[in-house]
Each structure stands twice: as structure tokens, then as C-alpha cells.
Amino acid sequence: MESNPSSSRTDRKTIERNRRNQMKALYSQLQSLVPNQTSRGLQEVTSLPDQLDEAANYIKRLQTKLERMKEKKNNLMGIHEKSNASTNCGMMMGFKPPQIEIHEVGSALEVVLKTGLDFQFMFNETIRVLHEEGAEIVNASFTVVEDTVFHTIHSKVGDSALGYGAAGIYERLKKFVSDAN
């Protein structure tokens, strides 16, 4: 049993040496991920607590930068938080569910798409659906009023698309808009 205390002491030393080596490797990895903040071009040896402080400050700067970038993105997209008193929940200004109106006069088809500033892709998809259904786009325009975009598309429905085709276009566009809500 006398060899037991010596063996356990050796085991503890080995475990402690492995722990220190692992910590050294982790500190080295952390230091490689944090850009060097020294003012001179020479690499200075920094203490481990200083390395940890530098890493923590770097992470805080990245978080602040990320928040500023998110705010800038939202501002550029026209999205702002706005409280809605009737529902007591946050609502996005600029977020309007899309609406579509379709008017058929003879072989002409007028599509009026009303969207918020965040649904610009819907115009492209509406044009795609019209082309797939065989309609010829004659004119397309848009108008922005505050946070609403009015897209007006005038198209000519060919003889093959008359009747059932116009109804098919109407149904596809209505489904597309309802799926986007």
C-alpha cells in the first residue's frame, strides 16, 4: 500500500500537467482568434489575464458593431419598431401584407399589386406568373406612397388564355399573394 500514495501523487501531477497543457493550447487558440491590438508592429508578450481582457473587449466591440449594422440594415430597408396600442405587440412599419386586384376588360388584364416596402420581390413573381400563363406585358409601373408600393401591370391576354386563362391567372396570383401573407 505504500506504493499507492506515490502512484496517486504521480497521477495527480500528470493530470495537472495535462490540464495546464490543455489551458495553454486553449489560450493560444483564443489569442489566434483575437486580432493583435498592440500599437507597435512588434509582438508583445501579454499576460494571460490581459489576453482574456483583450478577448472580452473584442467580443463586446463585435457585439456593438453587429447591433449597429442590424439597425443600419433595418433603417435602409425602412423597417422600424412601432408599437400597436390595439394589440399591445410590436409591429413593423413598412410591413404590409400584400393585396392584389385584377381587372379584366376584353383581352386586357390590369393587375394592381399593393405591398409594403418589404415585399418588392412580389412584383417580379407577379410578372413571372403572367408570362407563364401566356399574358403579354404591355406596361408596368409603380408608385410609392409613404410605406406602400402600388404596382400596376397592364397585360394583354392572348386568345389561348382568354376565359379560362384569365381565370387561371387570377387564381394563381390570388394564391401566390395569400401564401405570402
Name the pLDDT band for 181 (thresholds 50, 70, 90): low
Q: Which residues pair with 30 in a beta bridge?
A: none
Cα–Cα distance, 49 to 34 (Å, whole number): 14
pLDDT digits (tens, 9 = 90+) for 93-115: 445 678 888 888 888 889 998 88
Rounded to 5 degrees, what angle do the CA atoms 85, 88, 89 make? 120
Backbone torsions φ then ψ of 15, nearest 5 degrees: -60, -45
Residue bearing the bigger pLDDT, 40 or 46:
46
Q: Which three-class secondary structure state does DSSP give residue 126?
A: helix
On whether the pTM is more than 0.85, the answer is no
Place of cell 399574358: 135
